[in-house]
């Protein structure tokens, strides 16, 4: 067993993996906490996109493509390799950070085991796993109610937004009709530029259902695993965002203050 001290750039660092269902508010929370505590976020989804679309690592891209073009799942060894290489890179770029947020890794129990192993190698600590518990009903309604402006994707709405007005159907002479899409759903218009709001394919009910089923299948055992290990911090993610932040902070703040600065 190697105990070479020079090879441990992550000695004493705290890792905080975040687990939440899609639309569970993870992006909002990790962004706030990352800024407030100068904890860089490692985003596994963004890492894969950088490799596949932005040409970050052509060799790795070829390796990933060799699995995907055959319709195979990327094996765990490869996923872990991508994580290790890119996370170490982030850690080296941020030598003064006490902690790091992990978004999108680990995604299942096998990846959690691999992460525990890596932490032992690195001398890093997997202290708290933050789980934002949001019921499937709530995340479903968040996704299904979301609308994007057809002119500017940064204009994002929820149909419960009181500022929104439905689009009037042009064919109605008295102007009382409401325009609807092919599925009979009301069309709304952007409050800023008046453009039609659209539903992203990702937010279509069938797609949402499928994605959530997949999430549960992988994540339920992951949550159970971290709970058994005593590492899980469960937060009610249906509260107002600032309450969620406060609760996470009350858990991680003591760790960040007490951990020794290398």
Summarize as ranges the residues that interact with Zn ion (CB under 5 A): 149, 151-152, 155, 190, 192-193, 195
Is the four-CA dihedral 198, 202, 203, 207 of positive or negative sign? positive
Q: Measured from the CB atom, is 152 or 236 closer to Zn ion?
A: 152
Q: Minimum CB separation from Zn ion for residue 255, in Å?
A: 42
Helix locations, the chain, DSSP H: 26-36, 44-52, 58-68, 76-93, 109-122, 136-144, 205-228, 241-258
d(CA 84, CA 105): 11
Q: Yes or no: say if 74 and 64 are a contact pair by the CB < 8 Å rule.
A: yes
Q: Measured from the CB atom, is 153 or 213 closer to Zn ion?
A: 153
Q: Minimum CB separation from Zn ion for residue 162, in Å?
A: 17
d(CA 67, CA 90): 26
- Interacting residues of 91 by C-beta distance below 8 A, sequence separation 6+: 9, 10, 13, 97, 100
Q: Minimum CB separation from Zn ion for residue 165, in Å?
A: 13
> What angle separates helix 76-93 from helix 109-122, to the nearest 10 degrees?
40
Q: Minimum CB separation from Zn ion for residue 195, in Å?
A: 5
Q: Minimum CB separation from Zn ion for residue 15, in Å?
A: 39
Q: Measured from the CB atom, is 37 or 188 closer to Zn ion?
A: 188
Q: Minimum CB separation from Zn ion for residue 198, in Å?
A: 11
Q: Measured from the CB atom, is 122 or 157 closer to Zn ion?
A: 157
Q: Measured from the CB atom, is 7 or 192 closer to Zn ion?
A: 192
> CB-hemisphere CA count at 13 Å for 94?
20
Q: Measured from the CB atom, is 15 or 199 closer to Zn ion?
A: 199
């Amino acid at each position: 067993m190697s105990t070479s001290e020079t090879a441990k750039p992550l000695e004493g660092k705290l890792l905080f993996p975040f687990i939440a269902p899609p639309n569970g508010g993870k992006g909002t929370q990790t962004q706030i906490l990352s800024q407030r505590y100068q904890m860089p976020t490692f985003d596994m989804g963004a890492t894969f996109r950088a490799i596949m679309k932005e040409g970050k690592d052509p060799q790795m891209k070829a390796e990933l493509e060799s699995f995907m073009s055959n319709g195979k799942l990327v094996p765990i060894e490869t996923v872990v390799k991508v994580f290790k290489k890119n996370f170490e890179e982030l850690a080296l770029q941020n030598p003064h950070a006490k902690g790091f947020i992990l978004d999108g890794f680990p995604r299942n129990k096998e990846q959690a085991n691999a992460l525990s192993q890596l932490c032992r190698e690195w001398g890093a600590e997997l202290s708290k796993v933050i789980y934002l518990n949001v019921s499937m009903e709530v995340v479903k309604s968040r996704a299904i109610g979301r609308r994007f402006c057809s002119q500017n994707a940064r204009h994002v709405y929820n149909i419960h937004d009181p500022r929104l007005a439905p689009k009037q159907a042009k064919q109605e002479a008295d102007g009382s009709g409401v325009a609807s899409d092919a599925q009979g759903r009301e069309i709304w218009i952007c409050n800023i530029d008046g453009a039609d709001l659209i539903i992203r394919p990702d937010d279509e009910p069938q797609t949402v259902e499928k994605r959530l089923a997949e999430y549960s299948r992988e994540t339920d055992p992951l949550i159970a695993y971290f709970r058994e290990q005593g590492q899980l911090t469960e937060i009610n993610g249906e509260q107002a965002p600032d309450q969620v932040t406060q609760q996470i902070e009350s858990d991680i703040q003591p760790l960040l203050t007490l951990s020794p600065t290398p």
